[in-house]
Structure 1
Amino acid sequence: MNTTAKTRHVSIALAEAKEEYTKANPRSYAQHLRAAEVMPGGNTRTVIFTDPFPLTLVAGKDARVCSLDGNWYRDFLGEYTAGFYGHSNPILREAVMQALEQGWSMGGHTEAEAEMAHLIRERFPSMEFLRFANSGTEANLYAIQTARAVTGRNKIVVFEGAYHGGVFVFSGASRHPLTAPFDFVLAPYNDPEAVAALIDQHAGEIAAVIVEPMQGSGGCIPASKEFLKFLRDWTTRTGAVLIFDEVMTSRLAFGGLQSLHGIRPDMTTLGKYLGGGFSFGAFGGKQEIMGRFNPLGPNSISHAGTFNNNIFTMTAGSAGMKHVLTEALLSEVTARGEKLRQRLNDIASRSELPMTFTGRGSMMNVHMTRAVVNSVRDLKASHIPLRDLFYFDLLKQGFWIAKRGMINLCIPTTEADCDALVQAVEQFVKERTGLGLSAGELR
């Protein structure tokens, strides 16, 4: 079979790409087999698993990562937005080394936690009071439970395609088996009229509406200002708590997307990069809500967590916010991402392949469809095998992205890195055009 025939169909091309990947990464494969002896599938974090096996990473520097097989990649994954600082920021390293010298796990309050809280409130004024947790998942769990406690209601409005952590997954038609057993009302994203028709029926029972101002795991799909304003108005009118999950999107502006839209939620959750590379979560909001956590107050709510104020997160996080994450820097990285996404969509618009890039600023996602994407409903015709082939082709060219197509810039990502990614996508289009996609798939 000649080369043209062998690459005629996406399924054949994908099988060939996986075979080449396996041959090129024998050490990672051997490590995967060893890990599989003690972990199901050799994996403890599903999102980073790759079929037929995942690469094992051994080093990172600036905006590069290195595999066990000795291959360096330009890092356009950025640890799913958590690796915003890159892998070797000297300011964070100095802060961590100082914390090591002074001792850790001391079991008491530290100056660093109060400093971190002050720095966060300066950036997110809607968080009048806040508390720390160990991840965005925990932050969202605590925020939801807080809303239920203060309102005396039980129902929680979530949106199709939402991901609020490992126990809040709303990506499929059926309920994810690990999703917390709350009384959820699942509504369409970015559709105020449809949402109103659904949630008006439950108005007196809804404790909270939790929303990502741009869905991250759902495919970097931005919410319209109209949609977010509708949610703000509806929750104000009905007494429900509006929670903005800015675990990912807080990196897109000095005060998060809430500041760009000019919409103030009742509660905000944070996580990922703000911990400086260490486990981090935070939830906060109005004083009348968060005041319930004051141990000196009547009927206070107890909130525990051994590592909530761990010294590494508090020290590295504070150092990063004080000395690195300036408003000017965030604007610069956001602008670089906007420019990159526009360049990639220019390639997609000229291509015969069904492809588009959604997102905002330094976060984006490739989707193998020609549809305008406003919600996950618009991704039903997305060509998943072609997206998988995109992943393996870019990996071969030296780019580390998410298999689901997510692409993120980090602070040390350069213009040269962006130029190289544009060239890699152009190469993908050149090599994979004419794979025999049917007319129905070219939309």
Structure 2
Amino acid sequence: MPDQVLANSDLQSALVEARQAYIDRNPKSFARHQEASQAMPGGNTRTTLHNAPFPLTVVRGEGCRLWDADGHEYIDVLGEYTAGIYGHSHPVIRAAIDRALDHGWNYAGRNAYEGELARLIVDRIPSIDLVRFTNSGTEGNVMALAGAKVFAQRAGRAKATKVMVFHGGYHGGVLYFVSGGSPVNMPYDYVVAPYNDIEGTRALLAKHGEEIFAVLVEPMQGSHGCLPGDPDFLRALRDETRARGITLIFDEVMTSRLSPGGLQARLGIVPDMTTLGKYIGGGMSFGAFGGRREIMELFDPTKPDSLPHAGTFNNNVLTMAAGVAGYGEVYTPDVADALNARGDRIRDRLNAICAKNDVAFQFSGIGSMMTAHATTRPIRTAADIASSNQDAKELFFFDMSAAGIWIARRGFAALNIMIGEAEADRFVSAVEEFVTARKALLQP
């Protein structure tokens, strides 16, 4: 029997054992899942958090640690998919929320925090002259596209009704292109281009340019596997869209954490609009869209023919107060630089371990975001990500859970500022234990 067939057979056996150990170790989480399934489809209200055979139930978080219903303790390297950058119950943010609660909430009026948070964002993100708040990054992208479409129409581009997006892109639950699109996507006419392919994208722009009102792109694709955008590719998008009068939108819902001014500042590439979300709300529900003054002034209610943008909780007191404290006092530019430098060091250590053991396993990403891939191919394209052995990645997830490391089922990690050297070393050691123990199953 060929070695590869033997390895695949052994991998399946190891995966079966790991799944069963997970089931045996977590009876209370299983019971909670069964209870939830009586009132929610599949016991779920957020698809990302489902994993087979059942997801664990978290009952407490403190600092950089989590505890599940069965009493197991984990080092949290997932960081709520980039939203949990402050760890759990950060004292500065907790104090800000307590102060806000002391004065009541749900005002149906402006509050003292929203203008301050807006100013913090405008001062830090290069592309944002003006900003408006939403309740999620998904909403931010929906509103950015709506504004960009009207901006094109009022500029005389009547034929511009299409949006260019990219294979592997994720811009929220209704703008999902990771696996070829979603039946619940917004009903735009999409031109789906190949990410990191300059010539392929240029050809599509040449063909459809007059019909496209916006190009929506992540400067690093997050949900697709921390696939960094090649700087030359992103610069080509900037040049092409500027020449054609197309609004370039950077979805920095995840990547704004990667430098004090977002990944756009790190790269030196300024789009027309930027969407934000996740951690900027201090751990509360948050989203935003902003950009060039002439685009954002479409939403100015003091002007004739302004665009409506409603939302009961757009400026909710808890998010605004937590955001001012978190983004303004905790995640300062110095802290952002330090966290992302730590992430680069950790990813380098992990990849050095994989290389030393000559396994088909590696980590891609930038700064404090990274994803595991069970392949030897450099991670530059969608095809490289598709080459990853999904069974090996699932085994990695189960082994990390058993080792007390909280990570996404897809191998995604987003570090939080509460992770110190000891926790970083424990994460690296857990990966090393996985690589050495499973080496025979991870052969190229």
| Correspondence 1:335 to 2:336 | no
Distance in 1, Cα, partners of 2:43 & 2:224: 25
- Given candidates 337, 350, 356, the residue that maps to 2:362 is 356
Amino acid at match of 1:333: L
Q: How does 1:18-29 map to 2 (within 5 A)?
A: 18-29=19-30
Unaligned runs of 5+ in 1: none
| Correspondence 1:167 to 2:168 | no
Distance in 1, Cα, partners of 2:228 & 2:100: 38
Structure-2 residue corresponding to 1:311: 317
Distance in 1, Cα, partners of 2:179 & 2:331: 35
* Structure 2 residue matching 1:357: 3-state secondary structure: strand
Query: Alpha-carbon deviation of 1:45?
Result: 0.7
Q: How does 1:23-422 map to 2 (within 5 A)?
A: 23-152=24-153, 153-173=160-180, 175-422=181-428
Structure-2-length-normalised TM-score: 0.96
Structure-1-length-normalised TM-score: 0.96
Distance in 2, Cα, partners of 1:408 & 1:321: 17
Distance in 2, Cα, partners of 1:416 & 1:50: 29
Contact kept, 8 Å, 2:7 with 2:440, in 1: the verdict is no
Query: Alpha-carbon deviation of 1:82?
Result: 0.3
Contact kept, 8 Å, 1:6 with 1:13, in 2: the verdict is no
Distance in 2, Cα, partners of 1:114 & 1:411: 26
Distance in 2, Cα, partners of 1:31 & 1:247: 31
Map Cα deviations across residues 188-233 of structure 1 (whole Å, 9 max, x no partner).
1111111101221011111000111111001001111111110110
Contact kept, 8 Å, 2:129 with 2:290, in 1: the verdict is yes
Map Cα deviations across residues 163-211 of structure 1 (whole Å, 9 max, x no partner).
00010110113x3111111111000111111110122101111100011
Q: Indicate the percent of aligned positions where both proteins have the same amino acid.
A: 49
Contact kept, 8 Å, 2:225 with 2:385, in 1: the verdict is no
Contact kept, 8 Å, 2:86 with 2:416, in 1: the verdict is yes
Query: Alpha-carbon deviation of 1:295?
Result: 1.0
Distance in 1, Cα, partners of 2:126 & 2:401: 41
Distance in 2, Cα, partners of 1:9 & 1:155: 48
Contact kept, 8 Å, 2:18 with 2:398, in 1: the verdict is yes
Query: Alpha-carbon deviation of 1:7?
Result: 10
Distance in 2, Cα, partners of 1:319 & 1:429: 40
Unaligned runs of 5+ in 2: 1-5, 154-159
* Structure 1 residue matching 2:113: 3-state secondary structure: helix
Q: Which stretch shows the higher mean deviation, 125-134 or 307-316?
A: 125-134
Query: Alpha-carbon deviation of 1:8?
Result: 5.8
Aligned residues: 433
Query: Alpha-carbon deviation of 1:11?
Result: 1.1
Distance in 2, Cα, partners of 1:167 & 1:360: 26
Contact kept, 8 Å, 2:126 with 2:265, in 1: the verdict is no
Map Cα deviations across residues 232-273 of structure 1 (whole Å, 9 max, x no partner).
100100000000110011111110011111111100000000
Distance in 2, Cα, partners of 1:328 & 1:150: 37
* Structure 1 residue matching 2:399: 3-state secondary structure: helix
Amino acid at match of 2:342: R
Amino acid at match of 1:39: M
* Structure 1 residue matching 2:23: 3-state secondary structure: helix
Distance in 2, Cα, partners of 1:429 & 1:258: 34
Distance in 1, Cα, partners of 2:276 & 2:285: 11
Distance in 2, Cα, partners of 1:135 & 1:6: 43
* Structure 2 residue matching 1:111: 3-state secondary structure: coil
Distance in 1, Cα, partners of 2:167 & 2:383: 8
* C-alpha RMSD over aligned residues: 1.3
Map Cα deviations across residues 332-362 of structure 1 (whole Å, 9 max, x no partner).
1101000000000011112343111000000
Query: Alpha-carbon deviation of 1:6?
Result: 11
Amino acid at match of 1:305: G
